[in-house]
Amino acid sequence: MKLFNTLTRQKEEFVPITPGEIKMYSCGPTVYNFFHVGNARPFIVFDVLRRYFEYRGYKVNFVQNFTDIDDKVINKANDEGVDFNVIADRYIKEYYTDAAGLGVNKATCHPRATETMDAIIGIVETLLENGHAYLAENGDVYFRTKSFPEYGKLSHQPLEDLQAGARIGVGELKEDPMDFAVWKAAKPGEPAWDTPWGSKGRPGWHIECSAMVNKYLGKTIDIHSGGLDLTFPHHENEIAQSECANGCTFANYWLHNGFLTIDNEKMSKSKGNFFMVRDAAKMFGYETIRMFMLSAHYRTPLNYSEDSLNMNKVSLARLYEARNNLEFRIEKAAGDAMTAEETAKLTELSAYKQKFIDAMDDDLNTADAMSAIFELTREINAYSGAHQDATKAFLQAAHALFMELTGVLNIVQQREDAAADPDAEKIEGLIADRAAAKKNKDFAAADRIRDELLAMGVTIKDTRQGTQWTRG
Ligand code: AMP
Ligand code: ZN
């Protein structure tokens, strides 16, 4: 598999540190609000990366953090007059609700910054001891950026350029404008933790990721990922801290997703041009949002628009219809062995699986992988439509292939169909009555029953194998 590595700006062959195993870390949300559709992009694409690795037989250890202590969380807590933990707990719970809706699996582990304080304090201590960080008079601890000559290697910026752009903020006591806080001295009324170096306080943002990687994955990991905006300074700082504390490479591959835009501007909380995932889901459905995200390659910009979401909604419905048709046919069909023609057809269909794998192996090209699924679907629909006597064996094999590929992307897996409908028994009864009426040539009765079904919001379709019904 090839992955584009921000560090080398090239697509590279992916080779894990330990054969068959992957250590992967992704920067997670700051939990002071619901997350918006832009935030959802990394959650979805790196969930797919993880699922794809698992599909290819790797054991994946995937860690994604919750930033549960920072200015935004504290400000929100102050606004509501509650403890910061109340805010963090609430929005972690909401994160899980939206993530589950979007089909994003829980990571192997979701550490919170405040639960990783031992490791955070440990790494700051190491940096203080080896001279890569210093304790300022006000109790802040800063990373000494110039002590790491490779600083800038991820964002490909020479030190001089970074120096020209750096400023010292109000209240900061840095030796150099490029230095950044790894520890912030306590301010009155803010939550604070004790430290061996004597200044009570809380961690800077970047240090939690360095500490969590150490604690849960080890000194060197395979893949570190996040949104493009995190490249600088967040990831650059993570590299500096970790490599200076551990004396070895921090992450071998750096993956960054492109921006989700709206009117071609980055969707962001600060600009106010965002849709909460929750609200977008009310309009289009969670799974449509997932489908939309995967319709583009993860590194390209992707523009959010009602048209685009509606198009994806229709595409998704087409895939569900294909699946439901196959399942209906399987139930009615007979034949445990495929005919020679069907065996040949199945071999032909398997080519789409290879196409899917080739696309995913090419830097996780979900857009091309999705095309392979649509081509497969078209072929299955055409063949099964033209062969009403297709064997159960063939239909099952086609269904399995379809479910395997859509399963990797985690789309079209939901089951809110017939069997789950509370009126299923009644509907099936009416359909049987209608069939009997038709058989007796009592067409007026048959039509009456059809109208009754329509009034219940049930759509029926007569096929050679019997009557299929759906809601809506
Ligand atoms: P935050 O909670 O702001 O730290 O963001 C969580 C994740 O969402 C990070 O990986 C960000 O890089 C990512 N992110 C934020 N806005 C966008 C956007 N408009 N498009 C893509 N990713 C984004
Ligand atoms: Zn991070």
Residue 435, H or E segment: helix 424-439
Q: Which residue has a Cα nearest atom 1 of ligand 1?
A: 29
Whether the per-residue pLDDT at 458 is higher than 70: the answer is: yes
Contacts of 388 (CB under 8 A, 6+ apart): 464, 465
Q: Which ligand is nearest to the CA of 234?
A: 2
Mean pLDDT for all residues in the chain: 96
Q: Record the pTM.
A: 0.92
Q: Which residue has a Cα nearest atom 4 of ligand 1?
A: 29
Residue 415 has a pLDDT of 83
- Cα 312-318-322 angle, rounded to 5 deg: 150
Question: Which of 30, 39, 230 maximizes ligand 1 atoms within 8 Å of its Cβ, making it the mutation to test the pocket?
Answer: 39
Query: 242-285 pLDDT, tens per residue?
Result: 999 999 999 999 999 999 999 999 999 889 999 999 999 999 99
**What's the topology of domain 316-409?**
Four Helix Bundle (Hemerythrin (Met), subunit A) (1.20.120)
Q: Which residue has a Cα nearest atom 21 of ligand 1?
A: 259
Strand order in the sheet with 260-262: 265-266, 260-262, 302-303
> What residues are neighbours of ligand 2 (ion), with CB under 5 Å?
27, 209
What is the distance in A from the centroid of ligand 2 to the CA of 149?
Answer: 21
Whether the per-residue pLDDT at 113 is higher than 60: the answer is: yes
Is the separation of the CB atoms in 349 and 401 below 8 Å?
Answer: yes
- Kindly give the number of the ligand 1 atom that is closest to the alpha carbon of 225: 10
Query: Percent of the chain beyond pLDDT 90?
Result: 90
Residue 444's CB: how many other CB atoms inside 10 A? 7
What is the distance in A from the centroid of ligand 1 to the CA of 224?
Answer: 15
Q: How far apart are CA 328 and CA 143, in angstroms?
A: 63
Query: 362-377 pLDDT, tens per residue?
Result: 999 999 999 999 999 9
- Kindly give the number of the ligand 1 atom that is closest to the alpha carbon of 39: 8
Q: Which ligand is nearest to the CA of 65?
A: 2
Query: 420-435 pLDDT, tens per residue?
Result: 678 888 999 999 999 9
Q: Which residue has a Cα nearest atom 15 of ligand 1?
A: 39
CATH 1.20.120.640 region(s) of the chain?
316-409
Whether the per-residue pLDDT at 416 is higher than 80: the answer is: no
- Cα 374-376-378 angle, rounded to 5 deg: 70
CATH 3.40.50.620 region(s) of the chain?
2-257
Residue 92 has a pLDDT of 98
Query: 59-111 pLDDT, tens per residue?
Result: 999 999 999 999 999 999 999 999 999 999 999 999 999 999 999 999 999 99
What is the distance in A from the centroid of ligand 2 to the CA of 113?
Answer: 11
Q: How far apart are CA 242 and CA 122, in angstroms?
A: 12
What is the distance in A from the centroid of ligand 2 to the CA of 425?
Answer: 52
Contacts of 440 (CB under 8 A, 6+ apart): none
State which CATH number among 3.10.150.10, 3.40.50.300, 3.40.50.620, 3.30.70.260 fits the domain covering 2-257.
Answer: 3.40.50.620
Long-range CB pairs of 9-14 (<8 Å, 24+ gap) are 9/156, 11/362, 11/363, 12/253, 14/222, 14/253
Strand partners, 60: 22
Crossing angle of helices 366-386 and 286-294, in 10° steps, is 110
Residue 472 has a pLDDT of 67
Q: How many CA atoms lie within 13 A of 267 on its CB side?
A: 23
Strand partners, 202: 184
What's the whole-number mean pLDDT along residues 407-415?
95
Query: 308-354 pLDDT, tens per residue?
Result: 999 999 999 999 999 999 999 999 999 999 999 999 999 999 999 99
Whether the per-residue pLDDT at 227 is higher than 60: the answer is: yes
DSSP assignment of 243-280 equals HHHHSS-SEEEEEEE--EEETTEE--TTTT---BHHHH
Count of positions (residues) in the chain:
472
Contacts of 85 (CB under 8 A, 6+ apart): 68, 114
Which residues surround ligand 1 with Cβ inside 6 Å?
27, 29-30, 38-39, 41-42, 226-227, 229-230, 257, 259-260, 266-268
What is the distance in A from the centroid of ligand 1 to the CA of 330?
Answer: 43
Of 27, 32, 28, give the one whose Cα is nearest residue 91: 32
Residue 154 has a pLDDT of 98
